[in-house]
Structure formats: structure tokens, C-alpha cells
Amino acid sequence: MAQGPSPAREAVPRPRIQTLSDMIFGLALSIGAVTLLNQKPTDVLAVAYSVLSFGFSFLILATVWLRYSRIMSVLPAESSGTIVANMLLLFLVSVEPYLFNLMTASSYAPPSGQLDLGATTVLYALDLGALQVILGYFLHELTVEERRLIPKELVRSYTLSMYTTFASAAVFLLSTLPVFWSVLVIQSPTVPLRFVMWNVVWVLNTARRVDVRATASRRSEP
């Protein structure tokens, strides 16, 4: 007896994915703020250091959320690959505050047996590198011309964004090599080459934003 067509695979509705992602990003940002309440600064410099540290983590999460939201407003979320990548990205976002606070805590003299700053910065770089890889994968999906997800005149801009995102991921992942921790750019205060490499990522992202704005300006011209 012939069987009828197999039922279509059930897809996760886009609004549910957006709701889950907004909740996780909001929770991650809130956790970072809550950790400030547990700190007991003894002077103004300690307060400034705590606020600047939180601002760094906040900037990272906010930047990822903005890029993620713009991508997912166009990219269909029905494919299994996109759904799995979404879940992995949200997991990495949820652990970012923990890894960042672990790194911040180990910047002070950790008790014997606890991870030192070199180890915690590796974990943090792996998390951020993986986030960039997933964002790059999403951008790659947008640039596939056969899918026609974005206007043809925007393909170049999104392709450049994809390349800079993968380059950012490579910088973070490459920075985990021990040599980039042992080589010091500044002796006092101690600034390992690993931290300098992380700043390269912001240069790449700034170049990407400049190109996006230039492209938008050209499109708006009569």
C-alpha cells in the first residue's frame, strides 16, 4: 500500500526565537549589572575600574545583539542549521557574563588552586571567537545570491561584513595561543599582546561600519 507524503518538518516560529533571544540577551546584561552589587570597592579608582569593566562587557553584548537582531530580521530561521546555530549563539551569550567576571576576578591575585588570568582570558577569547564565527555563518547565509534574501546592491556590503566577522573570530581564536600571553607590549602596567589583538577586532568592526554607512549614503543619493 502506497504511503502518502511525509508530513512537513515542524519549524520553530520566528517570534518565539526572537522572544527567546531577547530574553537571554537581556538576562546576560542584567547579570553583569547585578555582579556590581556584590563588589565592595574601597576607593574611587576601584569604582571606576568596576564600572569600566562592566561597560566593556555591556558593549560587547550590545554590539552582538544589534548585529544579531539585524541579521535575523532578514534570515529565515526555519532551517535546522540556523536553529542549531541560534541555540549555540544564545548559549555563548548566556555564559559571557560568567566568563567575563571570572576573568575580572582572576585579574587580582587569585588564591592557590584557582585559574589565573592567563587561563581565564583564553576561555573568554574562545567564547567571543565562537560568537563571531556564528555571526559570520549567518552573514554567509544572507550573501548566497540564489536565496535572494537581500537586495543585490547590498550583497557587497554584507559580504565585507562577513569577511570582517570571520577575521574577528580568527583574531580572538588565534589570541588563545600561549605566545600571545607571554609577549608583553607594555611592561608596567602589564599589557600582554593578547589584549592588543582584541583591540584589533574593534578596528575591524569600525572599518565595517564605515563601509556600511558609505554604502547607505551612496544609495540615498539621487
- 3-class secondary structure, 43: coil
Q: Is the pLDDT of residue 9 over 80?
A: no
Q: Which residue has the higher pLDDT, 115 or 146?
A: 115
User: Could you state, in order of their start, the residue ranges of all structural domains in the chain?
Assistant: 14-107+115-220
pTM of the model: 0.81
Strands 191-192 and 184-186: antiparallel
Question: What integer pLDDT is reported at residue 44 of this predicted model?
Answer: 82
Please give the Cα distance from 136 to 154 (Å, whole number): 16
Q: Is the pLDDT of residue 124 over 90?
A: yes
Please give the Cα distance from 80 to 189 (Å, whole number): 48
**Per-residue model confidence as pLDDT tens digits over 187-218:** 767 789 998 998 888 877 777 777 666 665 66
Question: What integer pLDDT is reported at residue 117 of this predicted model?
Answer: 86
For residue 34, the one-letter residue type is: V
Q: What are 192's three cell numbers? A: 600582554
Q: For residues 131 and 93, is the Cβ–Cβ distance under 8 A?
A: yes
Q: For residues 150 and 74, is the Cβ–Cβ distance under 8 A?
A: yes
**Per-residue model confidence as pLDDT tens digits over 19-69:** 788 888 888 888 877 777 766 667 787 778 778 878 888 888 888 898 898
Q: Is the pLDDT of residue 7 over 60?
A: no
Please give the Cα distance from 157 to 219 (Å, whole number): 12
Lowest mean pLDDT among 8-17, 140-149, 150-159: 8-17
Q: What are 29's three cell numbers? A: 546584561
Q: pLDDT tier at 167 (50, 70, 90 boundaries)?
A: very high
Lowest mean pLDDT among 87-96, 97-106, 132-141: 97-106
Beta-carbon contacts of residue 198 (< 8 Å; ≥ 6 apart): 125, 171, 172, 175
Please give the Cα distance from 85 to 137 (Å, whole number): 8
DSSP state of 179: H
Percent of the chain with pLDDT over 70: 81
- For the chain, give the mean pLDDT: 80
Stated as kind and residue range, the H or E segment containing 12 is none
Q: pLDDT tier at 8 (50, 70, 90 boundaries)?
A: very low
Distances (CA, A) of 128 to 93, 100, 156, 188: 9, 10, 25, 27
φ, ψ (nearest 5 deg) of residue 171? -65, -45
Question: What integer pLDDT is reported at residue 74 of this predicted model?
Answer: 83
